[in-house]
Structure formats: C-alpha cells, structure tokens
C-alpha cells in the first residue's frame, strides 16, 4: 500500500548537549555540512520567489532544534534527519542521539470549532504601515484590527499552500498587552499571548513578519500529536474545542473577499505626455557623439551590486544584522 506524505511535519532533534545557537547558525551548518541535501534550496534563498511562505523552518526552542516541513518541504526534511549524526559549529560539535517526529494531515483548513493557539515567540503583527494605523485606534478597536490582520495571515497561508478557503475564518486575539514591543529598525511591533480561530494550523510554524528569524512561532493547545518537552508548562489535555458563537465579544471573521487585490496603476495623460517627451529627448541625444565608456562601467557596477544584494540574503553579514535586536 502506498504511503501518504503528511501535509506537515515537525522534527525535534535530541542532542547530546543544549543547543545555544541561533536558527541562522543551524541553517548555515545544514547548508555547509549537507550541501547535497534537497533541503538546502529551501534554506539558502533559491526558492524565495517560488514559495512566498517558507516551506522549511528551523527553530531553537528550549535549547533544542526543531525543523518544520510544510507540503513540498516535508520529504527534504525527512531526508535530512535520516542522515544527521552530528553538527559541527566550529567551536563545538553537537551529536544527535535520536529524533522525534510529529506528522499532521488535514491542515490549513477551516473547522466547525474554535481552536486555541499560543505564541511561544512574539508575533510581529505590525509593520511600519499597519503600525501607523494601529497607533491611532482606541483600545476597543485595536483587538479587532489585530483579529483582521491575523485572519488575513491565515487566508494568505491557505492560498499559498494551494487551498481555496471559501468559509469564514474566525479569529479572537487574547494578548498580554495591547502595546506592541518594538523590534529593531524595521518599525515592527510584536505581541505575546494567545488566539482562537476555526483554522487548523500545525505546531511551531510562524505567522506575521520575521518568520525566518523564528518570530510568530505558535503552539497548538488542541493538537493531540504535539511534541511537548518534558516539564513544559503546556498541557493540551487542559484545553477543549469551543463552539463558534458569532455574538462572542471580541470574535470577528474575514473571508476571501477581504483580501486586498493589487491593481496596476494606470498611467495618467500627464504621465503619458512626460514619457513621450523623455523618449523624444532620448532619441535626440542618441544622435550626438558621446564617450559612454564610464557610463557603461558604472551601469555594470550597479547590476553587480544588485546581484550581490540578492546573494547576501543568506550571508553571515545579513543575518548578523538581523539578529542584532
């Protein structure tokens, strides 16, 4: 009988010593030590344009390595962990004694019950734009604003993973504080706490901004398959699924009609006229003799820098900057 590949997988690596490294450092070892593995293109930026939401995510939780694979990322994760015996970080080698696996199917879909989730790493809900809007809302309006952002996050996730969600996505945030924590120079605002939704989400994936840095990592309080660390404060047996009551205070919903549609801006007549004038001026200049040597060199330098910027996405310098919070 043909085995069915799970929609998501969580692998917890049990090491012989505590892992006091960043997710970036762990990914760097993956790419260097296991360069031929299928997981590498999911980590080094090659698939950034193909997959808007990362199919492979690496987390450090309770000084243990967690690797999450979604859809296309499941098999590459399984292939890697089968071959991992140790990680060499240069100043320390960490041996892998065994690994635990959590497999999930029927994910990223609405359900008829409300499920509870907890952000175990702050959720960066606000960017510079949404943060500006949030600042001028009342304390009564702020949770509803965050509800909508969270709901749109979930709709995006569903669509990105190839699922057409026609149902209402209910959300209700229950945050520790409505004042966002400022995260570095990006103008990001982060929150901690819990939320309820009728959308099924796998453990340990990230929502919001800064996913590749580990932000927005969530834990399902209703998933019986959860990998729970010994001594953890979380106990899924304490939480039950709730019926959806649209009259519940603080509960709101979004549908796919709420997702903004980006339209190309039409050129005005003024813009068209300016374009025609510039084109005419350019044609006139082309008839004049010029020494273009310096200009061509400068243009080539610019293109080279563009390529360098793209390749720097997973460089040590880039991530070092990102981790300096």
* Average pLDDT of the residues in 310-319: 38
The dihedral region occupied by 282, where left means phi > 0, alpha psi between -120 and 50, and beta the remainder, is alpha
| Least confident residue range of 115-124, 136-145, 236-245 | 236-245
Q: Is the pLDDT of residue 88 over 80?
A: yes
Tokens representing 215 are 């932000």
- List, in sequence order, the alpha helices (H) in the chain: 23-33, 40-43, 74-83, 128-135, 141-160, 269-286, 293-311, 316-323
> Residue 281: what pLDDT?
56
pLDDT in the model for residue 228: 54
Q: How far apart are CA 80 and CA 87, in angstroms?
A: 12
Residue among 58, 56, 54, 57 at smallest CA distance from 26: 58
Which of 31-45, 274-288, 291-305, 310-324 is modeled with the greatest confidence? 31-45
**Residue 197 reports pLDDT greater than 80:** yes
Contacts of 301 (CB under 8 A, 6+ apart): none
- pLDDT, residue 269, reads 54
CB count in 10 Å sphere of residue 184: 14
Do residues 56 and 43 lie in contact, with contact meaning Cβ atoms separated by under 8 Å?
A: yes
Answer yes or no: are the C-beta atoms of 90 and 49 closer than 8 Å: no
Say if CB 243 and CB 160 are below 8 A apart. no
Residue pair 28/39 in contact by the 8 Å Cβ criterion: no
User: In the predicted model, what is the mean pLDDT of residues 90-107?
Assistant: 92
* Mean pLDDT, rounded, for 145-171: 92
Q: For residue 257, what pLDDT is reported?
A: 87
Domains belonging to the chain, first-starting first, are 8-104 (3.30.70), 110-258 (3.30.70)
The pLDDT value given to residue 274: 56
The most confident of 139-148, 218-227, 256-265, 266-275, by mean pLDDT: 139-148
Report whether 123 contacts 190 (CB < 8 A): yes
Buried b (16+ CB within 10 A) or exposed e, 139-164: eeebbbbbbbbbbbbbbebbbebeee
Predicted TM-score (pTM) of this structure:
0.75
- Is the model more confident about 236 or about 303? 236
Q: Is 323 exposed, middle or buried (0-12, 13-18, 19+ CB in 10 A)?
A: middle
CA end-to-end span of the chain: 50
Are 259 and 153 in contact by the 8 Å Cβ rule? The answer is no
> Is the predicted pLDDT of residue 28 greater than 60, yes or no?
yes
pLDDT digits (tens, 9 = 90+) for 134-143: 999 999 999 9
Arithmetic mean of pLDDT over the chain: 81
Percent of the chain with pLDDT over 70: 73
Please tell me the predicted confidence (pLDDT) of residue 241. 83
């Amino acid at each position: 009988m043909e085995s069915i590949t799970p929609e998501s997988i969580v692998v917890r690596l049990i090491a012989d010593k505590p892992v006091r490294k960043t997710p970036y450092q762990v990914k760097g070892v993956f790419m260097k030590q296991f360069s031929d593995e299928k997981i590498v293109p999911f980590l080094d930026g090659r698939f950034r344009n193909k997959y808007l939401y990362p199919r492979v995510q690496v987390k450090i939780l309770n000084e243990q390595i967690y690797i999450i694979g979604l859809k296309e990322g499941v098999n590459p994760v399984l292939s890697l962990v089968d071959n991992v015996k140790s990680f060499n970080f240069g100043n320390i080698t960490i041996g892998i004694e065994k690994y635990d696996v959590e497999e999930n199917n029927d994910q990223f879909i609405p359900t008829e019950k409300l499920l509870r989730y907890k952000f175990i790493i702050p959720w960066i809900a606000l960017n510079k734009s949404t943060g500006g809007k949030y600042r001028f809302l009342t304390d009564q309006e702020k949770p509803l604003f965050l509800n909508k952002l969270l709901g749109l996050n979930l709709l995006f996730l569903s669509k990105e993973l190839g699922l057409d969600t026609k149902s209402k996505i209910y959300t209700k945030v229950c945050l520790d504080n409505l004042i966002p924590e400022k995260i570095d120079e990006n103008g990001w605002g982060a929150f901690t706490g819990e939320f309820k939704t009728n959308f099924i989400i796998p453990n340990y994936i990230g929502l919001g901004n800064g996913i590749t840095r580990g932000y927005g990592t969530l834990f399902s309080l209703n998933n019986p398959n959860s990998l729970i660390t010994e001594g953890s404060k979380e106990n899924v047996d304490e939480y039950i699924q709730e019926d959806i009551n649209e009259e519940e205070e603080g509960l709101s919903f979004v549908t796919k009609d709420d997702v903004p549609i980006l339209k190309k801006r039409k050129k005005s007549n003024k813009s068209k006229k300016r374009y025609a004038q510039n084109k005419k001026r350019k044609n006139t200049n082309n008839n004049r003799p010029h020494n273009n040597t310096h200009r061509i060199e400068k243009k080539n330098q610019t293109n080279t820098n563009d390529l360098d910027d793209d390749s720097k996405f997973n460089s040590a310098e880039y991530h070092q900057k990102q981790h300096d919070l």
